[in-house]
Structure 1
Amino acid sequence: MTDPVSRTGRATRRSFILYSGILLLCLLGCGVTKGEGEERPVEIQSVGVSTAQAKELSSQVLDIIGLKGELTDVPPGASRSEQEPERLYRITHPWSLSGAPEADMERAMQRLREQLPRHRWKVLEYGPGKSKAGYLELTANSEKYKFSVNVMFKDARKPGAVEASLNKTSALRVSLVSAYFRTPEGEHP
């Protein structure tokens, strides 16, 4: 499918992905250091396994959302760690759903809040985000895999929504991010 975000909205989407990635990294931890030089063990896992986990978790989130609409077609991707680029990586999977009625999107956010814990997710935050528009956001950690998800309901109906003036499409924006993993010997991200 094509990306429903307008050209001007792409900068907004990139900012959201960057912000979500940083937020989720802070919540998950990078898996490299505990602080003050103490090393934290990093799980060894192939990029293929981590990518499959990201797809599984994204499908689970989409199933709970339970709406039909336009989905962005962005596959999960690996990004290398600056600390050890030859072995350390994390998986990111940003995607969005638009074209559904806003009231249904609001109900989908509530469904996520209620049903994610039944699927081994721990909801860490739910409520208005820190953006000027105060979009509804949910952040959760998977208890099955080392991933976090941030879902933001970008409601174009909200007065004062900066992004709404750039792109008048409401959407559920999802950013799935893993902790850092180390590739098995001989594999590179």
Structure 2
Amino acid sequence: MSELRSGPVVTARCFSLPIAALAAALILTGCSLVNSDSGKLGYEPEVRAVEPAEDEVNAISSQLLDWMGVKGKVTESGAMAGTCDAVDPDFQTHYSVEHPWSVYDLTSGTFEQAMQNLREKLPQNGWEITSDGLTKSQARNPEIVAVNRETHHGVRIEWARSRSGKLPKLITVDVGSRCYKAPKGTKLG
């Protein structure tokens, strides 16, 4: 799978997301960035097996695709556990889950309608849109950042409508979780 991230992932006190997604989410969630060399999370991480946490993020991704209301090709990847740098940069006891994916080569619907559908569906389903505007990149692509305070997940969605060369238009999605503590005896990494 090709990497869809727009930059490094930074751990926040609430969840891990790419830097672009964190900027808007942090303002409204009351979270603060944690230096990966110090500090604690600011919450007690739930003890949770990796597979159910990954399944939950995959289910969120599937729901987002359904809400878009488009048909096309979707990158073939799944959610994966990764480091929770704030408390465990060595990936031994704590983890967060991230799922970057995209939809492209539409056969039904439009990217514009997909973004509008998400603007409507996210708030109707427990998500708070913390940012809805244009990226700060030269392309100035439409972007939606949202958080779900009940499940502690975040999402960054970008419609890459302006791409260099002959690259196809697409919508990239990055769903992320907060940090979890792996059950005793779990082998991470």
Q: TM-score range by the shorter chain?
A: 0.7 to 0.9
Task: Tell me how far apart the structure 2 counterparts of residues 101 and 132 of structure 1 sit (CA, whole Å).
Answer: 28
Whether 1:148 and 2:154 are equivalent positions in the alignment is yes
Q: CA 1:39 to 1:75, structure 2 compared with 1: closer, same or farther past 3 Å?
A: closer
The structural deviation recorded for 1:183 is 1.0
Deviates more, 1:95-104 or 1:118-127: 95-104
- Structure 2 gap ranges (5+): 10-16
Secondary structure in 2 matching 1:131: coil
Partner of 2:6: 16
Matched ranges for 1:7-46 at <5 A: 13-16=3-6, 18=8, 21-25=18-22, 27=25, 37=39, 40=42, 41-46=44-49
The 8 Å contact of residues 31 and 179 in structure 1, kept in 2 or not, is answered as no
User: SS at the partner of 1:125?
Assistant: strand
SS of structure 1 residue aligned to 2:71: coil
Moved runs in structure 1, 4+ residues, more than 6 A? 30-33
Aligned partner letter, 2:159: F
Shift of 1:119: 1.1
Distance 1:39 1:59 in 2: 28
Number of corresponding residues:
170
Aligned ranges 1:75-86 → 2 under 5 Å? 75-82=78-85, 83-84=87-88, 85-86=91-92
Cα distance in 2 for residues equivalent to 1:94 and 1:180 = 17
Higher share of residues assigned helix? 1
Q: TM-score when scaled to structure 2?
A: 0.78
In the aligned structure 1, how far is the partner of 2:134 from the partner of 2:180?
A: 31
**Aligned partners of 1:17 and 1:94 also within 8 Å:** no
Which of these residues, 57, 63, 66, is aligned with residue 60 of structure 1? 63
**Aligned residue type for 1:115:** K
Q: Distance between the aligned counterparts of 1:53 and 1:39, measured in 2?
A: 21
- CA RMSD, 1 decimal: 2.8
Q: Which residue of 1 aligns with 2:187?
A: 188
Please, which runs of 5 or more residues in structure 1 have no aligned partner?
4-9, 157-163
Fraction of identical pairs, as percent: 26
**In structure 2, distance between residues paired with 1:42 and 1:167:** 44
